[in-house]
Structure 1
């Protein structure tokens, strides 16, 4: 998408030059660039790399979440469940079957790497530890790590949003200045209004594509919710309510939750 925006901007520049220069070269360049933009659009429409990437990311996050819940007796893998490994296999394979429908390709070879075969000795060792140890491991290595990650991402998205908003505002101001000068007869020859307007539109399109503001909103909310939950799980959540608290934490850090919050940050 970024490449297509730059190609369109270059085509607009070439078209503007074609109006002012006594040469066919800019016009030919503009035609080639516009054709290239169309070709890029068709290529992007057919390519499913983004979809595949999202499916594999979802599979990785799913496995990570189930592994943590299994290790610390969270969610459905609470201390009273009779066969946690069988439940782990059932939940994992059921979710992966859904992901296969949207492009996930199973890289595992043989039954030993499927279902319960994904449970490592370290996961079993953590699950066998006392509640206090499991709690501290989860709060330190999962919840705090995720909280800091969302805090960093919110900060990055905020800086990117500010940068691109400034660039777009500057380009819009330049377009306005060029239009006023041309209307007053102070700018003859080159029509820079169209060029600056196109560049500003490309900046707006890039912001929409990257979703800087929605991501800032979503990641900030998740970071705040995780901080509140981490304090509660450290101080007030007893072992009887631990499984539900872990399930809530995993819901907060799921990509689906962030995407849902992002729809309200526009």
Structure 2
């Protein structure tokens, strides 16, 4: 289930970004043709501009009907929920502590409860996994496409059971190495990537806005009378701002940096001061930091 939802989330994410990029590009090219038509007095360019504006409207309608962004977020939530529950099951974290009488049954119950809320907003389990290949899971990838050893619990693999049966210290080391450190690296890399992209797009939009201002001042002063580039440059700047908001580089950079800080603190706590009795609660707190909903909540304050 993790593999399937992860791939569908990536596919829907790509579709959502491509659709938005297409819509913005059509608007910008339409504005270019409109500027050229105004300068040369060409009816052909005017018609092309009108056609592109019409295609932009059609693209917007298609985007609304496809709901790629909503499907992307639903599949991502489903994938991360399965992955988080799998790790908690393996290392005796959260509700899957050592004293629970039926951890397998509890896993199925917890998974169904989480997925039930996603079904209410339109999520459906993918019928197939596009482009996936068969390969066994590993300890660092515990939710791989292994065949379950119990058909009553199809999401619980042999690797997950093998880790769950290990002593506390071994489970702790596996969790710190293959889960926490892996996510520390991921969030750190994404924070840097988002910060650089935000700086680049912010600089580009600021430059285009400055050029639009310069063009407007120059035209009002009568220095250049043949071309009116201020509208085209302003439209280009607006396109950059819209793309920056679509990708959410600024808020995600803030959110990913905060999550990484929280994970670094949790890593130190888990490695040094958490006893076996407090381990389930500590793992649950760590997993909460990595939930997509938590990242989205942090991103609201980083915008």
Counterpart CA distance in 1 for 2:232 and 2:126 is 48
Cα deviation for residue 117 of structure 1 reads 2.2
1:265 has 2:302 as partner: yes
Show CA shifts across 1:194-242 (max 9, x none): 0001111111111111111000000000000000110111111111111
Q: How large is the Cα RMSD of the aligned pairs?
A: 1.7
Matched residue, 2:111: 92
1:16 has 2:35 as partner: yes
Matched residue, 2:208: 171
Q: TM-score, normalised by structure 2?
A: 0.84
Contact 2:80–2:291, Cα closer than 8 Å, also in 1: yes
User: Which among 227, 247, 252 is matched to residue 284 of structure 2?
Assistant: 247
Counterpart CA distance in 1 for 2:43 and 2:150 is 63
Show CA shifts across 1:31-57 (max 9, x none): 101101111111111112222222222
Matched residue, 1:156: 193
Matched residue, 2:239: 202
Counterpart CA distance in 2 for 1:135 and 1:103 is 37
Q: Would you tell me which structure has more helix in proportion to its own residues?
A: 1
Counterpart CA distance in 1 for 2:78 and 2:72 is 10
Counterpart CA distance in 1 for 2:210 and 2:174 is 53
Counterpart CA distance in 2 for 1:80 and 1:9 is 62
Matched residue, 2:158: 121
Show CA shifts across 1:151-205 (max 9, x none): 0110110011001001101101110111111121111110000000111111111
Cα deviation for residue 105 of structure 1 reads 2.1
Structure 1 gaps, min length 5 = none
Q: TM-score, normalised by structure 1?
A: 0.95
Moved over 4 A (4+): 111-115
Contact 2:149–2:157, Cα closer than 8 Å, also in 1: no
Matched residue, 1:223: 260
User: Which among 167, 177, 186 is matched to residue 140 of structure 1?
Assistant: 177
Per the alignment, in what secondary structure is the counterpart of residue 124 of structure 2? coil
1:185 has 2:222 as partner: yes
Residues 49, 115 of structure 1: alpha-carbon distance in 2 compared, 3 angstrom cutoff: farther
Cα deviation for residue 116 of structure 1 reads 2.2
Structure 2 gaps, min length 5 = 1-19, 129-147
